[in-house]
Amino acid sequence: MTYVKDFKWEKGLNVKDLVNQYNNLGFQSIELARATETIIKMKKASAKVFFTFTSNMVTSGLRGFFAQLIKLGIPDIIVTTVGGLEEDIMKAYGEKFVIGDFRSDDVALYEKGVNRVGNLYITNESYCNFENIMLPILSKLYQKKKRWAVSEMLKEIGFMLNDEDSILYQAAKNNVDIYCPAITDGAFGFHLFMFQQDHDDFIVDVVKDFKNILLSTSQDDIKGLISLGGSISKHHAIFACLLNGGLDYAVYMTTAHEKSGSMSGATTNEAKSWGKVKDDSDAVTVIGDATITFTLAMISALEKLNEEGLLKNG
């Protein structure tokens, strides 16, 4: 039997010890501490780790942290939405996003050419600059070959970037495949469309990439998932794992709730009814903003993994 213990601050308190105290604090803090332990277990078990996140995570300052996690050898496979890829490329070329306010005057922002993502601002000018970036990138891809699976295309783009804090760059450099099943759902997709108007033999093959992610794992693999948010990125990964026997470890972090019946709010328990998560798996769902919950849980896990020499470039 575990009892509630009073939380105490001590001088020199590190993240690992902070999160350890969460085990006896109550409510979502206990789930967050469990998430840390589950991440550690999946790495110690040499699981193939799927890491999924929605584009707003890259809009925020988590982008460089994600790139660092790739460098440290945490994820083996990444699944995300196209907005995060666009913004990763934008930031690699020097674009900066502004911290604004959730209570902004959105009509006034529109008139100024500013787009709001929560309390973060992205200007129309950033997207204009992105267009100037994409045309030479697509031209280079076309010159190399005419047909690309999405993950192959993203790896090639990653090699074109020169930014240590870029997710695409670190993934290419460390041979981590990035899957984006909804590659057309954003500015990136629009530029693919426009490029194809002048190069009708240029094909981005989404179906081939579905085959690639299915063959990226097997029934014999130990499989783990760290999923931030929901959407197609979460489902694409767990569906691939479902067809390969289900997940052995799973950490979901989301602000959505299961009452809506959405993929974003679906818990690891719900996933067991589909066989996406094995019935005897080590799985946890943490409700809360991932900019807070994920950084705490992941840094705590990194500190423990580093102590045991289990990080790739620690």
H helix or E strand, kind and range, residue 295: helix 290-307
Cα torsion through 246, 226, 167, 254, rounded to 10 = 120
C-alpha neighbours within 13 Å on the C-beta side of residue 266: 19
Q: Report the amino acid identity of residue 293.
A: T
Q: Report the amino acid identity of residue 84.
A: G
Evaluate whether 130 touches 90 at the Cβ level (below 8 Å): yes
**Packing angle of the helix pair 150-160, 124-144 (nearest 10 deg):** 110
Residue/partner pairs of 184-189 with CB below 8 Å, 24 or more apart: 184/82, 185/81, 185/82, 185/83, 186/55, 186/81, 186/82, 186/83, 186/86, 187/86, 187/127, 187/130, 187/131, 188/82, 188/85, 188/86, 188/134, 189/82
Catalytic residue among 43, 234, 276, 304: 276
CA–CA distance, 311 with 306 (Å, rounded to integer)? 6
CA–CA distance, 219 with 253 (Å, rounded to integer)? 25
Is residue 211 annotated as a catalytic residue, yes or no? no
Q: Are strands 203-205 and 223-228 parallel, antiparallel or unpaired?
A: unpaired
Q: Which of 1, 56, 16 minimizes the C-alpha distance to 253? A: 56
Q: Report the amino acid identity of residue 105.
A: D
Contacts of 198 (CB under 8 A, 6+ apart): none
Structure-block tokens of residue 10: 């001590």
Annotated catalytic residues are 276
